[in-house]
Amino acid sequence: MSKEISAVITLFGGSGDLAQRKLYPALFGLYRRGVLKDHFAVIGTARRPWSDEHYRDIVREAVCDDSIEATAQASAFASHFYYQSHDVTDAAHYTTLKELAAQLDEQYAVGGNRLFYMAMAPNFFATIASHLKSEALLTEDGFNRLIIEKPFGHDYASAAALNASITATFDERQIYRIDHYLGKEMAQAILGLRFGNPLLRGVWHKDYIHDIQITLAEAVGVEERAGYYETSGALRDMVQNHVMQLLAYLTMDEPSALTPEAVHEVKARAFDQLHRYTEAEVAANFVRGQYTAATIAGTAIPGYREEDGVAQQSMTETFVAGRILTDAPAFAGVPIFIRTGKRLTRKSTQVTVTFKPQAAGLFGAQPANTLTIYVEPSEGFSLELNGQALGQTNVLEPEELRFRHDPAAAKAAPEAYERLINDALHGDQTNFNHWNELAQTWRYVDVILAAWAKDETMPTYAAGTMGPDAATALLERDGHHWFWQPTRIQMAD
Ligand code: BG6
């Protein structure tokens, strides 16, 4: 982590679930590492009328673990938090906010730096951005940055409209569009693996790669978020953003430097080069599905349509699998299979690159070499190479070279939100979404949405399984198979 930063951080959505689960712990992590120290204040805003004291109690509770050291630090940390009841549509409230920020700026000797964080219902993002401008909340003497949460739009048109409204107040260099997957240790580590190893660099090419598979599996269902999820579905919720970002890291050209400009340039090109399907081609390349009721380990799990807040005839997909192609010269023809869903066998984000096996050689047909990157819950990677089977001359069998970060060390490393807020405080946009990336990924996804809107069928899968049968057929058709096929029995990955 880097040097101490001074800032007044204004959090729109200060009483929300995201703030309590992710943002306060992330800010506390930065406090414990000394990135936030003496010269910072956080203003939490939301509609409900809370006192500063009550707000500090909430913050303390959100960050406390059982250690005595953390408890003492949590109180000192929480003393930097202030609460402002705020109606985002009322211009007068912004004046109050501005005055409070100016007062805290002086009190904590902040020097004019402002970080605005939009962590609330997305329909208010545009209103907040325009009021920040009209009520002149941006300062002249420090940095002004905006962190904005997903969902960034609902389709290309709404994303473009939202972008127009925030760029009326902030320029691109001040906007930090969050995709928390870009803050994950092993998502970032893809770049090091790809570009830091001659062994992999040399074969990261269509001549050697058979397929790439990206799985973002969740064991949980829709939880308390049916209201949001019904309007989203797995394609918007996970594919347009998290899956696409991993895909870009796996297929983009080598950036000329690890700077935001250079990384965004190659990522934007990777998205530009995605092979766009026509609506008619969607059915052959994308599968959706919805989970149905099942009993898992003796517990009855409701189907998606039985969940609270879900329409009985809901056509919202809780699973997506796809066969994505790119026209990038280095990868043309290599299928990139993706899948994500709720209520799958278990939680795991992992990527497997399968290399083309030699059909016949000195040893006859050989098993394929594979590289698997474990993003979570365990963090590490495995390489399968063929070795001689013990005691048998000239007989090969796949052997796994396995690396995992030590779980205790991984837990102590900064979590995704902590890394990303740290980056934003230091003005590093590398791990945030540039507008070009969002524009391209929405355009890609819009075609699939349009095709599905005309399709009245909804394949199903039993909760606890890895999606509908069609998701298996999608690969088998061309002689591919899902590399990861978990059974319901818990197995270490
Ligand atoms: C969010 C989605 O962006 O990512 C959620 O809205 C999903 O539906 C979550 O559960 C998954 O994130 P993670 O970090 O738990 O893999």
Nearest residue (by CA) to ligand 1, atom 4, is 238
Mean pLDDT, to the nearest integer, of 116-125? Answer: 92
Which atom of ligand 1 is nearest to 225's Cα?
A: 8
Residue 86 and residue 46 in contact, taking contact as beta carbons nearer than 8 Å: yes
The residue ranking higher by pLDDT, 297 or 302, is 302
The 10s digit of each residue's pLDDT in 1-42 is 668 999 999 999 998 999 999 999 999 999 999 999 999 999
Instruction: Return the structure tokens found at 452.
Output: 């599905």
pLDDT at residue 2 in the model: 67
pLDDT at 493 over 80: no
CATH no. for 7-149 = 3.40.50.720
- Distance between CA 370 and CA 54 in Å, rounded? 53
pLDDT at residue 492 in the model: 41
- The fraction of the chain above a pLDDT of 70, given in percent, is 98
pLDDT at residue 489 in the model: 55
Distances (CA, A) of 387 to 174, 285, 382, 399: 52, 36, 15, 6
pLDDT at residue 490 in the model: 46
- Distance between CA 100 and CA 95 in Å, rounded? 9
Distances (CA, A) of 406 to 181, 337, 377, 411: 20, 29, 12, 9
Pairing status of strand 209-217 against strand 396-404: unpaired
* Contacts within 8 Å (CB) and 24+ apart, 298-306: 301/221, 301/343, 301/463, 301/464, 302/221, 303/460, 303/463, 304/221, 304/222, 304/342, 304/343
Mean pLDDT, to the nearest integer, of 113-125? Answer: 94
**97 contact partners, CB below 8 Å, separation of at least 6:** 10, 43, 45, 84, 86, 137
The 10s digit of each residue's pLDDT in 464-490 is 999 999 999 999 999 999 999 998 654
pLDDT at residue 488 in the model: 66
Which atom of ligand 1 is nearest to 241's Cα?
A: 3
Which atom of ligand 1 is nearest to 181's Cα?
A: 14
The 10s digit of each residue's pLDDT in 395-413 is 999 999 999 999 999 999 9
> In the predicted model, what is the mean pLDDT of the chain?
95
Catalytic residues: 242
Grade residue 415 by pLDDT with cuts at 50, 70 and 90: very high
**421 contact partners, CB below 8 Å, separation of at least 6:** 23, 26, 27, 30, 147
Angle between helices 125-134 and 91-107 (to 10 degrees): 70
HSE, side-chain direction, 13 A CA sphere, residue 299: 7
Question: Model-level pTM?
Answer: 0.96
HSE, side-chain direction, 13 A CA sphere, residue 314: 25
- Distance between CA 105 and CA 111 in Å, rounded? 7
The reply to whether ligand 1 has any atom less than 6 angstroms from the CB of 384 is no
pLDDT at residue 361 in the model: 82
The 10s digit of each residue's pLDDT in 50-105 is 999 999 999 999 998 777 777 889 999 999 999 999 899 999 999 999 999 999 99
Measure 136 CA to ligand 1 centroid, in angstroms.
34
The reply to whether ligand 1 has any atom less than 6 angstroms from the CB of 149 is no
The 10s digit of each residue's pLDDT in 248-262 is 999 999 999 999 999
Measure 458 CA to ligand 1 centroid, in angstroms.
23
Q: Show me where the domains of the chain are located.
A: 7-149, 182-476
Closest CA to 10 of 70, 77, 59, 82: 82
Measure 224 CA to ligand 1 centroid, in angstroms.
13
pLDDT at residue 364 in the model: 87
The 10s digit of each residue's pLDDT in 332-349 is 999 999 999 999 999 999
Dihedral of CA atoms 46, 47, 52, 57 in degrees, nearest 10, equals -70
The reply to whether ligand 1 has any atom less than 6 angstroms from the CB of 218 is yes
pLDDT at residue 6 in the model: 98
Measure 216 CA to ligand 1 centroid, in angstroms.
9
pLDDT at residue 358 in the model: 82
Q: Does domain 182-476 have CATH number 1.10.10.10?
A: no
